[in-house]
Structure 1
Amino acid sequence: MGVLRVLSDEEITERLAGLPGWERKGDEITRTYQIRYHAAVAAIVTIADRSRRIQHHADLDLRIDHLRASITTHDAGHRLTAADFELAHRIDAIVSAHQALPLD
């Protein structure tokens, strides 16, 4: 992924404003989606494929009726970088395409 610049608190707050439903929890951003189990499995496969292509991944937690995504940049010492917010936008689009309803 190249050299990664850790974002400041102000930059993180600014970028979160453009990602409704996402919130900061320490040094990661998270979002929970209400989604049927099989649709979530399909979304996870797509997320995994896109993540492999960009060499950046989220931690995904699948439950019977929801999917939780957590993102941080491991290569930046588990801190937040621009790559995390780019991945969050991609995940939103993927989950939306699988007809999920966000738990906001």
Structure 2
Amino acid sequence: MAAKLSAEQIADKLKALPGWEYKDNAITKIFRFEEFLSGIEFVQKVAEIAEGADHHPDIAINYKRVTFSCTTHDSGGVTDKDFKLAENIEIAYTDRQG
């Protein structure tokens, strides 16, 4: 089981992830898209990343906004696994924009 990070560790690591915030025992970010299907395609890309890492975010789709929330349920909070997933989501988003 991954070690749960302290509030201080989370705050420090969030500095490297613009737009991500810590709330409700998870790190969360809203991504915005020009079209609904662009968001859906991005969700599919993230789903493949998550499956490969065997670590899955909560995903909410609201028309052209997609919210990802990362927490490690079996550790009871945010761990390094969540930050690694968030970093990979950011990389995928940047790559998507070309």
Is the pair's TM-score, using the shorter chain for normalization, greater than 0.5? yes
Q: Which runs of 5+ in 2 are unaligned?
A: none
- 2-structure distance, mates of 1:84, 1:46: 17
- TM-superposed deviation, 1:39: 1.0
Aligned to 2:25: 27
Cα deviation 1:33-74 (Å, max 9, x = unaligned): 111211111111111111111110111111212111111001
- Residues 59-78 of structure 1 correspond to what in structure 2 (within 5 A)? 59-77=58-76
Q: 2:80 aligned to 79, 82, 86, which one?
A: 82
User: What CA distance in whole angstroms lies between the structure 2 residues aligned with 1:40 and 1:95?
Assistant: 10
- 2:32–2:39 contact (8 Å) kept in structure 1: no
Contact 1:60 1:68 in 2 (8 A): yes
Q: What SS does structure 2 have at the residue aligned with 1:97?
A: helix
Could you list the structure 1 runs, at least 4 aligned residues long, displaced by more than 4 angstroms after superposition. none
Tell me the SS of whatever aligns to 1:62. strand
One-letter code of the match for 2:36? Answer: Y
The CA distance in 2 between the partners of 1:76 and 1:11, in whole Å, is 15
Give the TM-score normalised by the residue count of structure 2: 0.91
Q: How many residues align?
A: 96
TM-score (norm 1): 0.86
Match of 2:89 among 57, 79, 91: 91
Q: Deviations over 1:3-44 (max 9, x none)?
A: 311101111010001100000103101101111211111111
Q: Structure 1: which 5+ runs fail to align? A: 100-104
